[in-house]
């Protein structure tokens, strides 16, 4: 299989080289020059230099000038009369024709002087000569017609072609490293301002211009915000306004091994009203809809997302609701719901949503933990068979009220109802290399659980006539209640001192928490360059956790006999008040923000079988951030109270193989953090980022652990100070756009982390140091969206070493992974795609697979009017090798895990695009419905 992977990568790399060599044979000339202002002779940065064919004004390529006004345009055709057009907002347009040949393939324009112009740019351009990009003060404007795309392309496809704009596989839009907060259509919010619904549904051929600018609303809410933190707004200017429309998808598929899927999502919007309805069911380990559909088409972005989970094989959960694919093994997922939005005039906007989801899963697992103690290697090996069913209801709303021109109120409440049941049969075996078998446990569990969760956010933003004066009030409340009945049938066998213990128990665990906070902030401008910010945050947290264990009565068969030794309960009340006063000073590219913080922290823990624990603390600490020209240096401090569970003095021996003690003397964890990061974007489409973070911590929580001769482990938390950790990441992205048709992208990334901790097993204490190193390389080639080649390789290394070398053994793990993807959209109406994933773990424990290859492929046929119909024949895991395996190091142990998962099947699917717009590009990483 490794040979197969190497061949795939070689073919792709050969295609890169072959296509590039063909291209370079015809495009080998270049021009360069320098742009200056006619008055002060100052360099003109970010001017647009466009090269057309003089005969028909067909666009060849373009570039932007750098900070010194220099420009260089490579890969220009020879023996073709060309026209260069140079434009800069507020200056006269420069035009000149030229022709390159083999004898004179390079042309230096020298210093070009641009004079001021009173005319607007659009008034001096012939329509065919409109520049692809123009800069006007704080707005970047792209001419959509200059960026060619397929007839069926959507706005997302157009944005991907624009320099400085990146869209990831989940549809999140970034502009020069900054996230896009809102997307407007002709200056107005489209579908609640949700960027992703527009990118997935608006046809590219309806767009005239794309404008990018800073989010001024975000600046108004927080005038002291650093320029590096200001989000972006994209405004789409259409060739004709879109007032109403409807769209959606319906699909169904049948496959081998009884695999199937079905679902539909339908949307209707009329001016200020939008309605989304969806439903799905499948047994192929994936959500009925991709994260992009749920957030964009399904409307969850419009109503707010409080929590999100995106899993490697396509599983999704939003706001506590599972949409399938979120667990292991084989799953049956189904669900349905609606999302409603309406804008009442211009002052009030209302969103309502409801969703029901159900997931049934079955899986087998094998785990192996090797614990190294001096010359002893202790092995804990477990096998399990699991069946689970999870049901959830989610009700949510968002109300936005524009009280007046300066005041906005937003209220977001939500309610989630959960129910889960499960059966688990597991066996755990503990041994070591000297004594052999120590103990084992056979465990059969049945679980019935119920949970209710309520939360809301109330935000009031008040601006004043004096620019920079802002009052904000933010209130958050969350309430969680959970009750779980866990039935255990246990058999514990001990071998050193032979004994067998059989128990049948019901353990009722009830947990709940209330978290409420109120934050009031006032910003006041002191001068043109300085402002004052004063804020106070009051937070109250109440937590409950109780365990009531019962033995099964032999006569009645009911669980009536409470086990007093295991009966525990605790309640925590925590108050935290933080007052902050800070100064922001800003001048040109320099921004300094310094604040002084006072935090009062107190808590009271009440236990069922132990005295109360009452503590109060006061902390005074600074925070500073300095931003200059894309660089940031920041310092902050953080206080985290110990968990009430760690403070409980009564031991928890519900697991006979792992007994945990609490420590009421624990102190809050206090950490100091220093970070430095750089982000640079260049006009040639490349970007560079560097991030470095380090922290020093006092009162970290470590555990004093003992392991007796029968393998029973006990632990107690204690504080330890002076620990340090760090993280570094370096990433570089470069896009080579040789013309409007050819694009090559490279993204190498390297990074690593360092962590210090302390271990103590059986009284043997040691400093523990660990390092994680990783690197990856992503390469992609695109020709007219007809041929796409994508390659990825990553390598990670984990290493741990200890000061007590006589008792602890140094550990090391390494993992390789690679992916090769090829997409071909030829001939017309056909799309061919294949992906090969390869993972190699050379050091896993015996009985766990070291490597596997997962090969997926599909053939798509587009038909019906405007390609609204799609027939897809796909294969998942063609080689039938798919597994779920991972390895990592922790403390003085190496942990390996292998879980059963979905393997080879074939499927035939039909998809119909229910829309007035043209369908999206088919194939590749758009995982709206299919993961191949």
For the chain, percent of residues with pLDDT exceeding 90: 27
- Give the pLDDT band of residue 91 (cuts 50, 70, 90): confident
> What integer pLDDT is reported at residue 516 of this predicted model?
96
d(CA 313, CA 290): 11
DSSP E strand boundaries for 283-406: 308-310, 316-318, 321-322, 330-344, 348-373, 376-404
> What integer pLDDT is reported at residue 1 of this predicted model?
41
The encoded tokens of residue 78 equal 């020879």
Inter-residue contact 874 to 860 (CB < 8 Å): no
Phi, then psi, of 120 in degrees rounded to 5: -75, 155
Beta bridge partners of 689: 679, 731
Burial status of residue 128 (CB atoms within 10 A of its CB: 0-12, 13-18, 19 or more)? exposed
pLDDT tens-digit map of 454-481: 999 999 999 998 988 999 999 999 999 9
Report which of residues 783 and 321 the model is more confident about. 783
User: DSSP characters for 620-674?
Assistant: EEEEEEEEETTEEEEEEEEEEPPPHHHH--S-B-SSTTEEE---TT---EEEEEE
Report which of residues 516 and 357 the model is more confident about. 516
- Which of 266-270, 856-860, 923-927 shows the lowest per-residue confidence on average (mean pLDDT)? 923-927
Inter-residue contact 737 to 760 (CB < 8 Å): no
Inter-residue contact 91 to 114 (CB < 8 Å): yes
pLDDT tens-digit map of 333-358: 888 888 887 888 778 988 888 888 88
- Which of 255-269, 477-491, 575-589 shows the lowest per-residue confidence on average (mean pLDDT)? 255-269
pLDDT at 329 > cutoff 90: no
β-strand pairing of 700-707 with 742-761: parallel
Inter-residue contact 293 to 286 (CB < 8 Å): no
Inter-residue contact 319 to 416 (CB < 8 Å): yes
Q: Could you give the 3-state DSSP secondary structure of residue 587?
A: strand
Q: Could you give the 3-state DSSP secondary structure of residue 158?
A: helix
Inter-residue contact 449 to 484 (CB < 8 Å): yes
The encoded tokens of residue 270 equal 């009329």
Mean pLDDT, rounded, of the chain: 80
d(CA 678, CA 163): 19
Report which of residues 231 and 37 the model is more confident about. 37
d(CA 227, CA 625): 12
d(CA 812, CA 372): 13
Inter-residue contact 454 to 414 (CB < 8 Å): yes
pLDDT at 26 > cutoff 60: no
Beta bridge partners of 714: 659, 706
d(CA 396, CA 457): 12
pLDDT at 818 > cutoff 50: yes
- Which of 15-24, 267-276, 345-354 shows the lowest per-residue confidence on average (mean pLDDT)? 15-24
The encoded tokens of residue 354 equal 């409801």
Please calculate the CA angle 920-925-931 and round it to the nearest 5 degrees.
100
pLDDT tens-digit map of 790-801: 899 999 998 889
> What integer pLDDT is reported at residue 613 of this predicted model?
84
pLDDT at 48 > cutoff 80: yes
Q: Which residues contact 188 (CB under 8 A, 6 or more apart)?
A: none
pLDDT tens-digit map of 606-645: 988 888 888 899 999 999 999 988 889 999 998 888 887 7
Residues constituting the chain: 932
Report which of residues 778 and 266 the model is more confident about. 778
The encoded tokens of residue 633 equal 């240096």
Element (H, E) at 453: strand 436-463
> What integer pLDDT is reported at residue 611 of this predicted model?
84
Taken in order 800, 804, 805, 807, the sign of the CA dihedral is: negative
d(CA 723, CA 881): 43
Q: Could you give the 3-state DSSP secondary structure of residue 190?
A: coil
pLDDT at 272 > cutoff 60: yes
pLDDT tens-digit map of 641-670: 888 778 877 777 667 778 888 888 888 999
pLDDT tens-digit map of 109-121: 999 998 876 554 4
């Amino acid at each position: 299989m490794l040979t197969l992977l190497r061949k795939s990568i070689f073919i792709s790399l050969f295609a890169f080289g072959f296509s590039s060599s063909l291209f370079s044979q015809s495009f080998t000339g270049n021009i360069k020059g320098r742009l200056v202002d006619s008055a002060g002779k100052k360099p003109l940065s970010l001017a647009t230099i466009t090269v057309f064919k003089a005969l028909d004004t067909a666009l060849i390529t373009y570039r932007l000038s750098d900070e010194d006004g220099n420009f260089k345009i490579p890969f220009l055709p020879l023996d073709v009369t060309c026209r260069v057009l140079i434009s800069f907002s507020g200056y006269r347009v420069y035009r000149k024709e030229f022709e390159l040949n083999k004898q004179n393939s390079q042309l230096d324009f020298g210093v070009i002087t641009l004079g001021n112009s009173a005319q607007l740019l659009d008034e001096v351009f012939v329509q065919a000569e409109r520049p692809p990009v123009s800069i006007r003060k704080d707005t970047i404007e792209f001419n959509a017609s200059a960026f060619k795309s397929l007839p069926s392309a959507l706005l997302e496809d157009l944005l991907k072609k624009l320099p400085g704009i990146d869209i990831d596989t989940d549809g999140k839009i970034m502009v020069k490293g900054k996230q896009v907060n809102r997307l407007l259509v002709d200056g107005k919010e489209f579908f609640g301002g949700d960027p992703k619904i527009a990118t997935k549904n608006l046809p590219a051929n309806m767009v005239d211009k794309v404008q990018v600018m800073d989010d001024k609303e975000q600046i108004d809410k927080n005038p002291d915000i650093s320029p590096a933190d200001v989000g972006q707004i994209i405004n789409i200017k259409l060739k004709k306004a879109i007032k109403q429309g409807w769209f959606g998808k319906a699909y169904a598929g049948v496959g081998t091994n009884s695999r199937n899927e079905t679902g539909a999502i339908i949307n209707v919007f009329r001016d200020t009203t939008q309605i989304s309805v969806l439903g799905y069911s499948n047994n192929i380990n994936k959500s009925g809809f991709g994260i992009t559909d749920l957030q964009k088409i399904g409307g969850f972005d419009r109503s707010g997302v409080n929590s999100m989970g995106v899993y490697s094989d396509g599983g999704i959960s939003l706001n506590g609701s599972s949409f399938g694919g979120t667990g292991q093994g084989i799953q049956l997922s189904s669900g349905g719901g609606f999302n409603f939005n309406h804008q009442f005039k211009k002052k009030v906007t209302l969103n309502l949503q409801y969703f029901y989801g159900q997931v049934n899963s079955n899986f087998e697992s094998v785990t192996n933990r090797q614990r190294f103690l001096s010359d002893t290697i202790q092995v804990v090996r477990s096998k399990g068979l699991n069946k689970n069913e999870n049901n959830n209801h989610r009700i949510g709303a968002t109300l936005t009220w524009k009280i007046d021109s300066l005041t906005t109120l937003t209220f977001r409440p939500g309610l989630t109802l959960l129910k889960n049941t499960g059966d688990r049969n597991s066996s755990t075996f503990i041994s070591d290399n000297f004594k052999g078998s120590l103990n084992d446990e056979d465990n059969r569990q049945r679980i019935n659980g119920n949970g209710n969760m309520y939360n809301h956010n109330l935000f009031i933003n008040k601006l004043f006539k004096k620019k920079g004066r802002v009052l904000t009030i933010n209130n958050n409340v969350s309430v969680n209640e959970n009750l779980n009945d866990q039935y255990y049938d246990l058999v514990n066998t001990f071998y050193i001192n032979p004994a067998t213990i059989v128990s049948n128990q019901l353990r009722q665990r009830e947990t709940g928490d209330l978290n409420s906070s109120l934050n009031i902030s006032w910003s006041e401008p002191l001068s043109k360059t300085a402002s004052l910010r004063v804020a106070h945050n009051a937070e109250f947290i109440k937590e409950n956790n109780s365990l009531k264990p019962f033995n099964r009565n032999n006569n009645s068969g009911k669980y009536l006999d409470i086990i007093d030794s295991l009966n525990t309960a605790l309640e925590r009340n925590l108050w935290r008040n933080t007052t902050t006063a800070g100064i922001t000073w800003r001048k040109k590219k320099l921004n300094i923000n310094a604040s002084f913080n006072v935090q009062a922290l107190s808590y009271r823990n009440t236990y069922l079988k132990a005295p109360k624990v009452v503590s109060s603390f006061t902390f005074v600490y600074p925070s500073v951030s300095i931003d200059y020209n894309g660089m940031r240096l920041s310092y902050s401090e953080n206080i985290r109270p110990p968990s009430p569970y760690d403070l409980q003095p009564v031991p928890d021996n519900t697991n006979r193989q792992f007994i945990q003690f609490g420590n009421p003397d624990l102190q809050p964890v206090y950490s100091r953090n220093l970070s430095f990061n750089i982000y640079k974007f260049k006009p040639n489409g490349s970007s560079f980022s560097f991030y470095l973070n380090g922290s020093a911590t006092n009162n970290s929580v470590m555990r004093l652990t003992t392991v007796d001769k029968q393998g029973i482990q006990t632990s107690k938390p204690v504080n330890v100070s002076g620990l340090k950790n760090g993280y570094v990441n370096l990433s570089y992205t470069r896009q080579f756009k040789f013309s409007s048709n050819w694009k090559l992208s490279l993204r190498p990334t390297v990074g690593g982390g360092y962590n210090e901790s302390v271990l103590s097993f059986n009284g043997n204490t040691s400093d523990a140091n660990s390092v994680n190193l990783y690197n990856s390389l992503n390469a992609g080639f695109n020709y007219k969206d007809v041929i796409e080649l994508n390659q990825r390789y990553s390598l990670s290394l984990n290493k741990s070493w200890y000061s007590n070398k006589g008792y602890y053994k140094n550990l090391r793990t390494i993992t390789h992974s690679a992916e090769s993807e090829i997409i071909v959209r030829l001939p017309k109406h056909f799309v061919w795609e294949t992906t090969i994933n390869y993972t190699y773990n050379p050091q896993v424990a015996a009985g766990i697979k070291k490597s596997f290859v997962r090969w997926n492929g599909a053939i798509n046929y587009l038909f019906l009017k405007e390609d609204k119909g799609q027939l897809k024949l796909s294969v998942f895991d063609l080689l039938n090798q798919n597994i779920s395996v991972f390895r990592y190091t922790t403390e003085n142990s190496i942990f390996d895990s292998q879980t059963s998962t979905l393997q080879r099947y074939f499927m035939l699917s039909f998809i119909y695009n229910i829309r007035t717009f043209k369908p999206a590009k088919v194939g590749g990483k758009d995982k709206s419905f299919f993961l191949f």
